[in-house]
Chains A and B, each alone.
Chain A
Amino acid sequence: MSQDARRAEAGVSPASAAWPIRLERASVTYPNGTAALRDVTLAIEPGEIVSIVGLSGSGKSTLIRTINGLVPVTSGSVEVGPHTVSGLRGRRLRELRGHVGMIFQAFNLAERVDVYRNTLVGRFARANALRSLTGISTAEDRRIALAALDAVGMLEKVWTRAGSLSGGQKQRVAIARALSQEPRVMLADEPVASLDPPTAHAVMAELGRINAERGLTVLVNLHLMDLARQYTTRMIGLRAGEVVYDGPASEASDADFEQIYGRRIRPQDRLGAAS
């Protein structure tokens, strides 16, 4: 089945083409002196699903946040599609962010707000000043948000308070939030670290499906080796802020992981099979 046909079946317009991501000697040094990223050069093609693997403190969170400008680079450049992130401010930066969907380890939902309004957060970048002030959304926003919820299977919980959902459900709502942005790029910062193994597999499968059906460029931070091997096509290994591995995920051997982690592999580095 062709990409476009698959997308049509998923209800997504084939017009949105995914964006590439390019980092050119990007470095990030925090004000307290920590060098989180050192001279990272990467080229990610549109439509790839890439995992970034490394231990805590390896720079994964920083790397993924340079792509939508949540963390500015101190030197080097970051390009997402036609935009150069480092030069953007204010309205243009928000416009870029509108095209980049992001999900987080802690789901980052507003717990007291219902699922519908949480999903509508994805439509922020499209609202004009008046609508921002009054908080009224358009019929178009509503349609897109509901379609996104349906795509992740959370439509029946649309009026439920986000705080009463399970971890896996929350992450799916977060994915719907990101999808309702109609993004060109999808970022996921340790999306399954707080989830149990079966749910983790379900969420990773969801990301895989989004990549396959919508052709989005997907970048996932992971610290578990088998998830990287199973769900992504390309793997980038990060250690102490530097790229130490870059190749097909399925070909990554245990020895490669030991190099990325800088130590021997332990049982807790593996997730286990989907039950």
Chain B
Amino acid sequence: MTTAEARIPARPRTWPRTALVAGAVAAFTALTCIPAIGGVEVDLAAIARNWRNGADKMAQLLQPDLTFLPRTLQPMLETLQMALIGACFAAAVSVPLTLWAARPTNPNGVTRRLVRGVVNVVRAVPDLVYATILVALVGVGALPGLLTLFLFDLGIIVKLVSEAIDSSEHPSLEAGRAAGGTQLQLNRALALPQSLPLFANQWLYALELNVRISAILGIVGAGGIGRLLDERFGFYAYDDVSVIILEILVVVILIEVSSNALRRRLV
């Protein structure tokens, strides 16, 4: 008995590290709850008091006035157009940028870090901020919305696909290099076809996101159904608002379903 026990290796102690992580998370959370430095004041009592208001509002929103539907069609179409065009242009530009930003396809550290840096800066600005500023730059309408979506999509696609390329294996590139190929040949003939599913996945995701976001961009004047939404909300016309929300819902679900089907066929 004792000889067997003596041969058991010492059990690794992972609890100090777990305790450290848990402690850090708790401390950070505590800091976020202090209003004095800008934290959030967690007012659970307000929920208990006023939840009925929210429930009422939701009930109102569940009573759509379908006669309002025709007025929403043109803005909705504009939203969809912006979403599609933004996604397509971003998809086209994302290919060279992504290949520049990933290590297997761009061994040159300097240009790679430069592209990554620029993309990170572009990603760091929230979509509505772009929209707000672009509206001030080029005026109200669908153009600032288009540009916002283009920039937003580019940031997401390049970051996610380049990370995926970085973290997957590319044995065929070694063979191409051994055969005497240039990086351009390798990327074009090998890396691109191999990473096409990764790209297609993110292009479709960008399209889905676009439809959701471009519905809001209208609030700051960047075109699409958001403007109508904002206007109707301002008039407390919740039955109209609910029609709009319903419409957005239907469109988003349709796009998601079709993009899922497309994804399965592409892979």
Binding site for B on A (CB under 8 A): 68, 70, 93-98, 100-102, 104, 106-113, 117-118, 120-122, 124-125, 127, 132-133, 135, 174, 177-178, 181, 187
Contacts and interface: CB of A to CB of B under 8 A. Distances in A.
Given A112-B193, A121-B176, 13 more contacts: A70-B178, A97-B178, A97-B180, A102-B179, A108-B175, A112-B194, A113-B190, A117-B193, A121-B172, A121-B179, A122-B179, A124-B185, A181-B180
Interface in B179-208: 179-182, 184-186, 188-190, 193-194, 196-197
A125 B181 CA distance: 5
B190 A121 contact: yes
Contact of B174 (A108, A117, A118, A133): A108
Contacts of A104: 171, 174-175
A122 B190 CA distance: 12
A107 B181 CA distance: 17
The 6 closest A-B pairs by CB, nearest first: A125-B180, A124-B181, A97-B180, A108-B175, A98-B180, A110-B172
B190 to A, nearest CB: 5
Contacts of B181: 94, 121, 124-125
Interface of B: 171-172, 174-182, 184-186, 188-190, 193-194, 196-197
A187 B175 CA distance: 11
For the residues of B in contact with A, the DSSP-based class is: helix
B263 to A, nearest CB: 15
A147 B196 CA distance: 29
A4 to B, nearest CB: 26
Contacts of B185: 124, 127, 132
B87 to A, nearest CB: 23
Most chain A CB within 10 A, of B186, B188, B190, is at B190
B169 to A, nearest CB: 9
Given A102-B179, A112-B196, A121 B171 contact: no
Contacts of B180: 93-98, 124-125, 181
Contacts of B186: 124
Nearest to A122: B179
A132 B177 CA distance: 14
Contact of B189 (A93, A102, A135): A135
A113 to B, nearest CB: 5
A60 to B, nearest CB: 16
Contacts of A97: 177-180
A143 B20 CA distance: 65
Contact of A108 (B171, B188, B189): B171
A113 B193 contact: yes
Among B179, B186, B188, max chain A CB count under 10 A is at: B179
Given A70-B174, A135-B188, A110 B193 contact: yes
B190 A110 contact: yes
B193 A106 contact: no
Contacts of B197: 112
Interface centre among A111, A121, A122 (most CB of B within 10 A): A121
Contacts of A121: 172, 175-176, 179, 181, 189-190
6 contacts: A70-B178, A110-B189, A110-B193, A112-B193, A125-B179, A133-B188
